Amino acid sequence: MTHPIEKIQDIPDYPTLNCLKADLTVNGCHMCSLGFQPEINGVCVSRGPETANRMIIGEAPGKEEDSTGKPFSGPAGRLMDEIWRSVGMDTNDWYITNVVLCRPYSPRGSGKENFTPKQDQRKKCKIYLDKQIALIKPKLIVTVGAVALEAITGLKSLKMGEWRGRLCNVSGFSAKIFPMLHPAAILHAKGNQELYDMYRQQTWNDIKSLKQMLIQEGIIACQTMI
């Protein structure tokens, strides 16, 4: 089935995040086939303060995110909240969004709830991500998972083990980039105790490093590390 996909140059030049969010929430998105899925409730743009100087970028909304309209409101999001709280930080202080703003709903009978967004879908939705970054002007962007990191760097088939936990400078971005594992990776690894323990330890190390870096960069006030 062919859909009347809009051209990238036809997207309005939103002056504010409120304009972008209101337009997509009310009118939906027709940039790719994801926006035409009858199973989804609409576009899931962001959560968190628009005045934040730091961002978290994930992959795509899941079932609960699609239902609430808020990114990271499902099991992975709740785990991420716990990870941030473990070092005395609060995800509510961050502007949170995803590379793809519509839930990639897996067909019934596939055995999965969602599928990984395709490269073409990520590319078409990235204009919204770029616009959000331009309006937020963050000092730091935390990417969770390979899809978010690939969207920011423009590189493909990245190995998270080689990037996670390191502060990166990426061409075209004034913000520093800090890649982390997606919290969903920890949840999915529960059936493999060795992998589960490794992911938990890596994430614990990374969240401590992230907080220390935020303090050193003057993005948050100095606090006692947990």
pLDDT tens digits, the chain, 226 residues: what are they? 334 444 444 667 899 999 999 999 999 998 899 999 999 999 999 999 999 999 999 999 999 999 999 999 999 999 999 999 999 999 999 999 999 999 999 877 777 889 999 999 999 999 999 999 999 999 999 999 999 999 999 988 888 989 999 999 888 888 999 999 999 999 999 999 999 999 999 999 999 999 999 998 888 876 544 4
The pLDDT of residue 1 is 37
The pLDDT of residue 10 is 60
The pTM score is 0.91
C-alpha to C-alpha distance for 131 and 117, rounded to whole angstroms: 20
Instruction: Give the CA angle between residues 112, 35, 113 to the nearest 5°.
Output: 10
CB 65 within 8 A of CB 77: yes
C-alpha to C-alpha distance for 82 and 84, rounded to whole angstroms: 5
Q: Is 120 exposed, middle or buried (0-12, 13-18, 19+ CB in 10 A)?
A: exposed
The pLDDT of residue 41 is 93
CATH class of the domain defined by 13-216: alpha beta
